[in-house]
């Protein structure tokens, strides 16, 4: 398998970071800032982009704002790279309608978590299967199932492989749980050709282990796709030593984002580099502690990501 340059046709592979949703200092959508963030992410080597994900603060957006962000981004990207739109919702009908609208607007794929609400309201395996079947029936583009702790829903490798084999558009899987590499191996072995895209997530903190397990894509934070490309490109070119050396260089920043900053990291680095004007998040989310912010920028400067230079 080789991976060089951007992948605009299926199977989608490579680095598909999550774009932050950009607000002004007053908490309103900044759609011009959104476009700049997208342009930076493409210039930094993103093979594709995901919008409206959890790292995009999708949970603080109104339905109208979701639509504005989606149409603005898809119109602005204009086919330069594939765009994945997150359409998760507890309601099957709402998720299906969101997915139909995303496809109509030009999305290349939708990403969906299994239905859940709060800490305790979960759906049975039979209900999850029907949920994804009905959403698949509503669209003609791939579905990526997001297997993440937030949902609190067990999704075994045999169950995921079964859905891949039996539900037409279920073909991509973002695995970001403890033991991701082991689950990826099991999923690939069980699903075989039905698993079009076994991907990792969680800011690429387990990227090398996941690539070794067969991952073909990484959905990371949006601030330094150039750094993740430095790991993935040599890996798929067969130079695992070069990939490991790059991973060692970038891991302190990956770790700082994952363990200290979460979704705020991308906005802080984009603001610091002049990509966007405001790093605001919506309340009740809070800004980073000044010392944590300072630490993030110090760690980032050691590897010189494009984000700190793009807007200067």
**Number of neighbouring beta carbons within 10 Å of residue 248:** 11
Residues in the chain, overall count? 312
294 is catalytic: no
Which residues fall in the annotated binding site for pyruvate? 219
Cβ neighbours for 296, distance < 8 A, ≥ 6 positions apart:
256, 257, 260, 261, 265, 268, 269, 288
Percentage of residues in the chain having pLDDT higher than 90: 95
Helix ranges, 44-79 (H): 63-77
Give the pLDDT of residue 9: 85
CB 38 within 8 A of CB 241: no
pLDDT (tens digit, 9 = 90+) per residue, 22-52? 999 999 999 999 999 999 999 999 999 999 9
Q: Which two tokens stand for residue 225?
A: 């796709």
pLDDT in tens, 188-201: 999 999 999 999 99
5 has a pLDDT exceeding 70 = no
CATH code of the domain made up of 14-222: 3.20.20.70
Per-residue pLDDT band at 180 (split at 50, 70, 90): very high
Q: pLDDT tens digit string along 56-107?
A: 999 999 999 999 999 999 999 999 999 999 999 999 999 999 999 999 999 9
- Catalytic-labelled residue, pool 6, 165, 174, 242: 174
The pLDDT value recorded for residue 7 is 57
Helix (H) or strand (E) holding 200: strand 197-200
Helices (H), the chain: 31-43, 63-77, 92-105, 125-138, 157-166, 180-191, 207-212, 225-236, 240-256, 264-272, 290-303
Contacts for 301 with CB less than 8 Å, ≥ 6 apart: 308
Angle in degrees, 0-180, between the axes of helices 31-43 and 63-77, rounded to the nearest 10 = 40
CA atoms in the 13 A half-sphere facing the CB of 10: 12
> pLDDT (tens digit, 9 = 90+) per residue, 144-179?
999 999 899 999 999 999 999 999 999 999 999 999
Q: Is the pLDDT of residue 3 over 50?
A: no
Q: Is the pTM of this model over 0.85?
A: yes
Provide the pLDDT confidence category of residue 1 given band limits of 50, 70 and 90: very low
Query: How far is 116 from 148, CA to CA, in rounded Å?
Result: 12
Residue 207's pLDDT band (cuts 50, 70, 90) = very high
pLDDT-based confidence at 119, cuts 50/70/90?
Answer: confident
**Which tops the pLDDT comparison, 298 or 118?**
298
pLDDT at 312: 86
What SS3 class is residue 42?
helix
Average pLDDT for the chain: 96
């Amino acid at each position: 398998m080789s991976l060089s340059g951007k992948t605009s046709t299926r199977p989608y592979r490579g680095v598909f970071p999550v774009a932050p949703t950009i607000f002004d200092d007053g908490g309103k959508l900044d759609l011009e800032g959104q476009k700049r963030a997208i342009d930076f992410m493409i210039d930094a080597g993103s093979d594709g982009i995901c919008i409206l994900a959890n790292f995009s603060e999708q949970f603080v957006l109104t339905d109208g704002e979701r639509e504005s962000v989606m149409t603005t981004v898809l119109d602005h990207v204009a086919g330069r790279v594939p765009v994945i739109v997150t359409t998760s919702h507890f309601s099957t009908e709402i998720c299906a309608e969101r997915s139909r609208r995303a496809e109509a607007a030009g999305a290349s794929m939708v990403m969906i978590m299994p239905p859940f609400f709060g800490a305790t309201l979960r759906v049975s395996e039979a209900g999850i299967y029907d949920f994804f079947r009905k959403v698949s029936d509503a669209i003609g583009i791939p579905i990526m199932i997001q297997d993440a702790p937030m949902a609190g829903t067990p999704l075994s490798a045999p169950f995921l492989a079964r859905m891949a084999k039996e539900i037409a558009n279920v073909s991509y899987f973002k695995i970001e749980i403890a033991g991701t590499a082991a689950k990826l191996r099991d999923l690939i072995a069980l699903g075989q050709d039905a698993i079009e895209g076994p991907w990792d997530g969680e800011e690429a903190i387990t990227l090398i282990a996941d690539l070794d397990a067969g991952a073909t894509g990484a959905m990371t934070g949006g601030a330094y796709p150039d750094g993740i490309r430095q790991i993935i490109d040599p890996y798929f070119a067969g130079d695992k030593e070069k990939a490991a050396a790059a991973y060692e260089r970038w891991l302190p920043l990956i770790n700082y984002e994952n363990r200290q900053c979460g979704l705020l990291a991308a906005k802080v680095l984009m603001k610091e580099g002049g990509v966007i004007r405001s790093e605001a998040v919506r309340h009740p989310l809070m800004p980073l502690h000044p010392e944590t912010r300072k630490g993030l920028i110090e760690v980032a400067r050691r590897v010189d990501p494009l984000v700190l230079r793009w807007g200067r």
